[in-house]
Chain A
Amino acid sequence: MLRLFSQGRHVSSSANLICVSQRLLHRSSPYLSSALEEVKQRERSLQPEPRRAKMKMSPYVKNLFRGLVDPFVFGYLELDQGSLNIAEDMKSEIHKFLESEDLSVLNSGGRISDETIAKLKELGVFKLNIAQQYGGLELTCAEMLKLCEEFSKVPSLFQTLSTHFQYISPLFSNFASHEQKEKYLPALASGDLHIGFALWEEGAGVDVSSIQCRAEFLGDNYILSGTKQWVCNAGIADKYVVFASDGDASNIGTPNAKVTCFIVDKNAEGISAKSMETLGMNGYSAWEVTFDKTVVSKDNLIGLPGEGLKILKTLLYGKFSLAGANIGLLRDLLNTTLHHSIKKETFGKPLVANDIVQQHLAEAAARLYALESITYMTADFYDNIEDPDIEAEVGIVKIYSSESMKYIAERCLKILGSDCYLTNKPYERVLRDMLFTPLVDTSVDTLRMTVALLGLKHAGSSFQEEVLHNRNPLLHPKKVMRGLFKSYVSWDREPDIDHLIFENVHPTLVNSADTLEKAIFDFGKITEETLVKWGAELDSRQMNLARLADVATNLYVCTAVLARTSRAISIGLRSCDIDGFMATSLVAEITQSIADLKDALQSSPYGNNDANYTNITKAMIHEKKFTAAHPLSRNY
């Protein structure tokens, strides 16, 4: 969007000066000459442009629920040449590192060795998203994503690093006190300090308010007791960040639960740890850590006591978790599959000559294209919007990335055939690792509910009046009759659209643009209808909430894809015509699925299968087993 709508830039010179002096200061400190930093400071003919002033924008996805479209987003993200060069150089540096390092140990169940960590430290990986003030590189979200693409090719390593990128460094940068920042962030940035993330427990995976680990306040200290599972990076950690509930035990599991966040030393008394055996992600050291009356001083609190849930809300559902997109891995997988299908011959012709194989490959490619588009678009919002309201967008990226992982991997594995089940081929690892994201990270269904409810919360207030009138027609006969008359007059008319999207994309995309605009307009209507139909009860109709979230996801994907393709065609990127095909096919497919979802929303629960599903499950709950009699059983 910067490309089309930038209002010029203004960076105060004093701020610049401060940055320079701090950079000099940090260059002189001994631990700060890493390879990536050198790349950044290398002399170049094109310097990166100073960061532009952030712009204001209303939330995009939330507004979709009201049927509003903001054409502002159709100018797709663009990095200036200087920054892009730096990012590419850093990426190639990381690529060189991954090539030179033998990381096959990670795939066969080994742990990340100390040498690897030391080399990562030398490379300067840990300082990527930490402020310059604390010796970090302070990359923007888009630049981070570009580097993460490279890391994501080694999933175990990526998971380890992304714990650092997603949880630890944002936690300290945003919630720690000034002294804590001074103390921990420089060490975190240099990679001298590793911190494990201890949040999840056996009964508290999705619902983090129900953590059982207790912290009791005695004197000046807290006493921790309980067991944490899936402690990320515990194998290499020197300290843990632990979330524990304090206060009234009866509040556990309710929104009133008081969760507090602590920094605990690894070697503190009463801590025992053992590693967990996982199916995939073998190099990723997930540990089980038990605290038995471990004493933590109250200086080691992050945030205020009881603020833990707020912190978690931002960390788990917030803006920082974009780095989870496995774009690099998927791109590699798709390329390998393509090469395989060109080489492999079946029934006298190469695999790729069969058009069913072509379909699989094209679907996977289009999906990957969509995933890249929405990830980078959201990164753009994060980087360039002032105080961005992008919870819904980030949720959608997470949903879409874990679903796409399955979708693309499934198609690739279909083509690779039995090869992917052999342990001596690299594909088997992908199969195991790809299960990790949707299962272990935040649950997709929870995210769908979250996205839908966020949208409804935003739209509800503006639809309040209509919903009130339509749900109580006898109290507002005039309004309702007028509404009925209007809908009678226009029942077979296409909705009038303003061609707002068409005006902002490349003219060749006219059909897709208008289809999308119609779909967004429709979505507003659907939301209103659904609200009228269910009223406030809608928040517990999860099947319908999931549908609303799916429609929003689809619309957001369409938006991002159109924006990216439009830019590609406008500036003539390589094979931008194929981008056009991908965009058109995605929009067509997505519009179809939106139509189906709309149908389902309108006919729920009796017109579609919702009621059937409820009945089936009710019966199973009653019987506590699969209810159907055996197909061979007789009744007389």
Chain B
Amino acid sequence: MRQLVRTVLHRYVRIPTANVLNVERLLLNDALQQRAIAPTHLHTCSVNLDSKRSNNSGYRLDEDEEDDNDDAAKAAKSALSTRTYFDSDKRNKETFEVMLDIYKKENLNRKGVVEFIYAALKHMDDYKVSYDLEVYKKLIELMPEGKYVPENFYSEAFFHYPKQQDCLITLLDTMELKGVCPDKEMVDIIKKRFGERGQPLKKVWRQLYWFPKFKNANPWPVPWPPVFDRFTLAKLAVERIVSVDPQSVVSVYQTKSVPDSIDDTFIVSGQSPKQQKLLAQHPTTKSIYVEGSFRIWVGRASINYFILRADPKEFKEELVDPDDVSNFHVPFLYETPKAVIEKPSVHEQRDGTILAVCASGSSSRDSLLSWIRLLETNGNPALAEIPVIFSLKAPVGDIVAANQDVPPHSDEEPEKVSSN
């Protein structure tokens, strides 16, 4: 079966004649003009119109025409190379889509579409389009309509056009890994290409059934498409941490406002009124600690956070007889309660009392010092007298992406971690 398919493929996939290519070339120029992008930007291929090549040839790596004469270089670069498509200096959605258009117009019979899609999938992270459903749709649309639709029972039963189906399943898998949910239009697109019973269609249907069910499973929703902006992440992380106490307030400070601060960054600080109270009641003879950094994951990125902690309180076990109904306590009439100690709040844990939490832009010691100063001026005057000890681990650095989704060079310059 596979052999048969290969033969058929071989027969269909031919080197286009020069005339066709000329037309395509014109189309390509049109496409570039429409998009108003200078061709030099794109590092696109030029097509050798004269020489006959093997099935896999057709593109050169460079746009430099003189290379044509160099046979050795030609041989080295003769393998079908989709890399040239994705070699652009400007890597964004627009150039990516232009590539797809160029491919479409150059290959009217969609030669090597499978290889092209695999290559495109590889480069999606680079071009920052891996969370974009539209782009996935456009990729699928590169495959011709109707050609792979099985026409009889046997081709249906024996995995018609296996390479193409595998390719599309890989594409859907990639989407799955990125958490992109397909939609009804996508189902239609795939149906037109692989028919009612193709494996890709089955997969996309399953995805459409299950993805929405898990879409809202996280009680602390993260933005979609994923953000890697440090400030937003820090805010989300702190909001999530302080959600144990609904009264908590999350405030954002700038270290600039603290005199003598070295860093210029933001601090997202979370504290509840109860924590303020606990801090105010803290004896001035006992020191408290700034601890960290700890790591919390927000969506696909992690954030470092720090806590302000006091030593644990002594928990006295008050024995209350659950069977004693003889003496109910009516708090609304200001009766003295039976219990001698107050019930510990959620902040008073057995390993320490958490007094505040923060995430700063630089995670540096200096920014944490600024945080303590800012806490002092914003509702915690007791901090002026309580000794604060910085017991920090070595800084673990900035946000780390969950996988290699995010290009290491993000838009912002990474802030330097001060080592004081």
Contacts and interface: CB of A to CB of B under 8 A. Distances in A.
B101 to A, nearest CB: 17
Interface residues of B, number: 14
Contacts of B408: none
B216 A342 contact: no
Contacts of A573: 216
A342 B246 contact: yes
Interface string A77-91: 000010000000000
Given A45-B134, A347-B331, A347-B332, A342 B213 contact: no
A342 B332 CA distance: 19
B247 interface: yes
A50 to B, nearest CB: 15
A350 B248 CA distance: 12
Nearest to B218: A574
A573 B216 CA distance: 7
A342 B249 CA distance: 12
A576 B216 contact: yes
A350 B246 contact: yes
Contact of A572 (B212, B246, B273, B342): B212
B214 interface: yes
Chain B at the A interface: SS class: helix
B134 A343 contact: no
A352 interface: yes
B52 interface: no
A81 B186 CA distance: 14
Interface in A231-256: none
Contacts of B212: 571-572
A576 B134 CA distance: 28
Contacts of A81: 183
Interface string A322-360: 000000000000000000001101011010100000000
Given A45-B134, A347-B331, A574 B216 contact: yes
B221 interface: yes
A572 B247 contact: no
Contacts of B273: 345
A575 interface: yes
Contact of B214 (A345, A347, A572): A572
Given A572-B216, A576-B216, A343 B247 contact: yes
Nearest to B211: A572
A572 B213 contact: yes
Interface string B321-364: 00000000001100000000010000000000000000000000
Given A572-B212, A574-B221, A342 B247 contact: yes
B163 interface: no
Contacts of A575: 216
Interface in A548-606: 571-576
Contacts of A574: 216, 221
Nearest to B248: A342
A352 B183 CA distance: 40
18 contacts: A45-B134, A81-B183, A342-B247, A347-B332, A350-B246, A352-B246, A571-B212, A571-B213, A572-B212, A572-B213, A572-B214, A572-B215, A572-B216, A573-B216, A574-B216, A574-B221, A575-B216, A576-B216
Interface of A: 45, 81, 342-343, 345, 347-348, 350, 352, 571-576
5 closest residue pairs by CB, A with B: A572-B213, A574-B216, A572-B212, A342-B246, A347-B331
Given A348-B342, A350-B246, A572-B216, 7 more contacts: A342-B246, A343-B247, A347-B331, A347-B332, A572-B213, A574-B216, A574-B221
